[in-house]
Amino acid sequence: MRRFTESKVGISMANAFSGGVFLSLAFGHMLPHAAHGFENSGLPESTPFYLTLTGYLLIFFVEKIAFDTHEMLHDAHDNGPQSPSTIKPIDSSNSAQVAASGRSATVLLLALSVHSLFETMALGLSTSRLNALLLAMSIGLHQPAESLALLVSFLKTGLPQGKIVKMLALFSCVGPLGVGLGVAAAQYAGDLVDAVLVSLAAGTFVYVGATEVVADEFETPHHKWKKFAALLGGVVLIAYITSWAELLEGRAT
């Protein structure tokens, strides 16, 4: 029981830290990069900020309006760190319940795929190795929890194992697809297209940091000071690394 509790606290701390990382990357790196890309576009200065808001609202619509993924993720997370053998699937004799659960898992797959596509697209749009490393770290801290929730959601449907594997394989392809789209946009599209995509991706990072991770972790009062310290740690670490990278780039030029 103690190990289970410590595991949950550790996951919460890592989640809060990743929330700080996402927010710091969005406001300290991605938005300034996008604003710089719009400097010579002739468009209003507020354009990248409205595009960031658009990216935020897009993910908000997908996850809260079109598909209510919050409850599905909570159901999966509440099961704690289980092995697949300990998860009880729905009774397959109840066809209506199996169908409803299967639809819920598919909806969760679609929503998380859209989510993952924008996150990894930002990685493909990175302009330096350090930026790519920071983005990869933030995604790496955040994605495992979502992948685990998706796995638990599918296991509880009672679907055949082969079909579950195919669904998860499909989800795992979204990340490389997003990176590929980002790389293609960075290499073959103009600076304006790059700035538009970075602005939209920044909105998804704000959503993950402020609406998804932080709001979820601070719903309960347990260990709130530790989690807040972890959140600030993520913000400060990325702010320091970003400032240091900009200083090095300035000296190089």
Judged by DSSP in three states, 147 sits in: helix
What's residue 135's pLDDT? Answer: 80
pTM: 0.71
- The burial of 49, by beta-carbon neighbours within 10 Å (0-12 exposed, 13-18 middle, 19 or more buried), is given as middle
Q: Which residue is listed with tokens 């499909």?
A: 170
Which is it for the CA torsion 91, 97, 100, 101, positive or negative?
negative
Average model confidence (pLDDT) for the chain? 77
Local structure of residue 82 (DSSP, 8 states): -
> How many residues belong to the chain?
253
What's residue 74's pLDDT? Answer: 56
* Positions in the chain whose pLDDT score sits under 70: 1-7, 67-104, 142, 145, 149, 157, 248-253
CB neighbours of residue 141 within 10 Å: 18
In terms of phi and psi (left: phi > 0; alpha: psi -120 to 50; beta: otherwise), the region of 91 is: beta
What's residue 5's pLDDT? Answer: 44
Model confidence pLDDT, tens digit, residues 171-209: 889 889 989 998 888 888 778 888 898 899 899 889 988
Instruction: Provide the Cα torsion 119, 23, 200, 194; round to 10°.
Output: -80
The CA–CA distances, whole Å, from 199 to 101, 133, 141 equal: 35, 19, 22
Judged by DSSP in three states, 79 sits in: coil
Tell how far CA 140 is from the center of its chain. 9
What's residue 83's pLDDT? Answer: 47
The closest alpha carbon to 129, from 117, 140, 139, 137, belongs to: 137
What's residue 51's pLDDT? Answer: 95
What's residue 133's pLDDT? Answer: 82
- Residue 97: which residues within 8 A CB-CB, separation 6 or more? 90, 91
What's residue 4's pLDDT? Answer: 38
- Residue 104: which residues within 8 A CB-CB, separation 6 or more? 72, 153, 157
> What whole-number distance in Å separates Cα of residue 147 and Cα of residue 170?
12
- Counting Cα atoms < 13 Å in the Cβ hemisphere of 57 gives 6
What's residue 139's pLDDT? Answer: 79
What's residue 93's pLDDT? Answer: 47
